Amino acid sequence: MMSEVAAVVAKKAAPGWFDGVVPVATVVGVLLVIWYIAAIPMNTRADVVAEGKIAALGGGWFNTIAIAWSADRPRLPVPHQIGQELWKTVVLADPTLPRSLLFHVWGTLGPTLLGFAMGSLLGCALAIGIVHVRSLDKSLMPWIIASQSIPILAIAPMIVTVMGNYGITGLLPKAVISMFLCFFPVAIGMVKGLTSPEAMQLDLMRTYNAGALQTLWKLRMPASLPFLFASLKVAISVALVGAIVGELSTGVAAGLGARMLTGSYYGQILQIWAALFAAACLSCLLIWAVNRAQHITNRMMGAQS
């Protein structure tokens, strides 16, 4: 009887999906209200055509708001305008043509994944070297940290120019820029994870006469997995940023960065915002994929995900 009562109490105390949705929905709702309100003074002052329409309609706050939320070239597009642009460029447009956002998403996804893979491997290799070679900890770690103080907007054109001089163009320069950004969180996270086993566990491995490679594979690597996946979630998002910055530097025709650049050239504000939202959605999708990989890995290792 007592066990049944305890089970019912625990079930009621356990947070459900509704408890997680309400706070997020509240924050989103507040942001949307602020967004719509901020768009009114910005768009009515910026759009001359809209001001003419307001005068023709006789003014009034209702007409002012209606015109501000439907301006042809708004300074601050409102969410429903961005939604209409996404619908037009994602659902209605042919995905094989440059007018489609899916065409540009695919152009950005390739260098993002390649740069993420290269950066993850480089970060793991550096972390293993730092953990096992004491001199690397003193000499290499400061340079790894210092590398992230260089603005990516400054170094991206240098990478593109140097690789272009050797005839390397297209996908690889953008992937290298992504790698430069995403190797850092992986390296730092893996160093923390590989050094997380306690001294008693390391002494036990030495008692079993395990070598450095066996200790790495059987103790350090399993202990580092939570740190690794936390770092990979950060790395995949910054890899996307690196790919977009690379597109801005190379001036390619396909990619979300190229879409934003074209929109800025021709004053297509809605096009820029739609590309930004597409990049955000792509980032969420990639982080979700890493999270699913973590759950699968935990399940294979017999741990609770």
pLDDT in tens, 115-169: 999 999 999 999 999 888 888 878 888 888 888 888 888 888 888 888 888 887 7
State the average pLDDT over residues 68-78: 82
What is the percentage of the chain residues whose pLDDT exceeds 90?
26
For residue 72, give both structure tokens.
């042809």
Considering only residues 176 and 141, tell me which one the structure prediction assigns the higher pLDDT.
176
Q: What is the pLDDT of residues 180-237, one digit of tens each?
A: 999 999 999 999 999 888 888 888 888 888 888 888 888 888 888 999 999 999 999 9
Round to whole Å and give the CA distance between 135 and 97.
Answer: 53
Q: What is the pLDDT of residue 117?
A: 95
Using CA of residue 235, residue 241, residue 247, residue 248, what is the dihedral sign? Answer: negative
State the average pLDDT over residues 167-182: 86
What is the percentage of the chain residues whose pLDDT exceeds 70?
86
How would residue 2 be classed by pLDDT, with cut points 50, 70 and 90? Answer: very low
Considering only residues 251 and 200, tell me which one the structure prediction assigns the higher pLDDT.
200
Round to whole Å and give the CA distance between 8 and 1.
Answer: 11
Q: What is the pLDDT of residue 60?
A: 61
State the average pLDDT over residues 47-68: 59
For residue 44, give both structure tokens.
């009515």
Mean pLDDT of the chain: 82
State the average pLDDT over residues 26-44: 86
How would residue 6 be classed by pLDDT, with cut points 50, 70 and 90? Answer: very low
State the average pLDDT over residues 272-299: 92
Q: What is the pLDDT of residue 246?
A: 85
The answer to whether 192 and 227 are in contact (CB under 8 A) is: yes
For residue 112, give both structure tokens.
């993002």
